[in-house]
Amino acid sequence: MKKGKKLYEGKAKILYASPEKNLAIQHFKDDATAFNNQKKAIIEGKGILNNRISEHIFSNLNQIGIKNHLIKRINMREQLVKIVEIIPIEFVIRNIATGSLTKRLGIEEGTVLDYPLIEYCLKNDDLGDPLVSREHILSFNWMNVMELELINEQCKRINDFLQGMFRGVGIKLVDFKIEFGRSSQDNNIILADEISPDTCRLWDSTTEKKLDKDIFRKDLGNLLEGYQEVARRLNILHEQSNIRPIKFPKPKAVKIKKK
């Protein structure tokens, strides 16, 4: 499919115009960033894995009635998606305390939360995506009360579904971030952006080994190996790709070439 002009470039993805009305091409880059772009690297193959994992999750969510922007994956790095007007709030759903929650409130790392906790962050890199309250959202008209209720419900359903999906393959869904947008085509709010190991915290259920972007944030090892393990467990690592092959499940026998 022929790409049109660049509509938007973010830290991990680029959105291009597509030949089809109201649709865009979402391209997954290999760029990894953390701490609001202060730490950066290019990790060859990351975009391919995130494209595939996000496609898998969004198409599964679609099957349980969570409307989202995905039309179809086009190639290894790109998906055809509905154009939406992104709501400027990042929705963070937490099942286990870690990351900024532990730092901000002194909650002990690893505390299993009694109920999933939904946090709202304003999507503004210059301000460092600050935490905002429900009252801020309503007061500044980022959403109306009906929209906020609808999204809260969706966040809970998405969390329930993803927790079950990951638990089934021996992974704890610790927390994740999602974004929603207004779709003129659907006349509704739909899930957008991506759900991948870049935007989730995923721990091995037994060892609590990190399989997500914390590997990069905290220099815990080979990021690609973690993402490949997630894809392998979800049974979606079949395709030919130019990612360096890592054999599973015998990690001891594997030698990863350092560049």
In angstroms, rounded to a whole number, what is the distance separating the alpha carbons of residues 198 and 195?
8
Q: Is 144 in the site for ligand ASP (CB under 6 A)?
A: no
**Minimum Å distance from CB 194 to ligand TMP?**
9
Task: Out of 5, 21, 35, 126, name the contact with ligand ASP by CB under 6 A.
Answer: 35
Task: Out of 6, 22, 36, 109, name the contact with ligand ASP by CB under 6 A.
Answer: 36
Q: Is 196 in the site for ligand ASP (CB under 6 A)?
A: no
Cβ nearer to ligand ASP, comparing 33 with 163: 33
Q: What is the b/e burial string over 200-223, where b = at least 16 CB atoms within 10 angstroms of the residue's CB?
A: bbbbbeeeeebbbbbbbbeeeeeb
Task: Out of 7, 15, 23, 34, name the contact with ligand ASP by CB under 6 A.
Answer: 34
If residue 249 lies in a helix (H) or strand (E), which one and from where to where?
none
Stretch that binds ligand ASP, among 35-43, 68-76, 161-169, 234-242 (CB under 6 A): 35-43
In angstroms, rounded to a whole number, what is the distance separating the alpha carbons of residues 173 and 107?
18
CB under 5 to 8 A by kind: which of ligand TMP, ligand ASP, none does 209 bind? none
Stretch that binds ligand ASP, among 28-36, 57-65, 135-143, 248-256 (CB under 6 A): 28-36
Q: How many CB atoms lie within 10 A of CB 79?
A: 23
**Minimum Å distance from CB 187 to ligand TMP?**
28
In angstroms, rounded to a whole number, what is the distance separating the alpha carbons of residues 214 and 201?
7
If residue 140 lies in a helix (H) or strand (E), which one and from where to where?
none
Cβ nearer to ligand TMP, comparing 18 with 180: 180
Binding string, residues 204-223; x marks residues near ligand ASP by CB under 6 A: ---------x---x------
| Contact residues for ligand TMP, defined by CB under 6 A | 92, 99-101, 129, 175-177, 199-201
DSSP 64-109: TT--BSEEEE-SSSEEEEE--EE-SEEEEEEEE--HHHHHHH-PPT
Burial class (CB in 10 A: 0-12, 13-18, 19+), 153: exposed
Q: Is 123 in the site for ligand ASP (CB under 6 A)?
A: no
Residue ranges binding ligand ASP (CB under 6 A): 11, 33-37, 213, 217
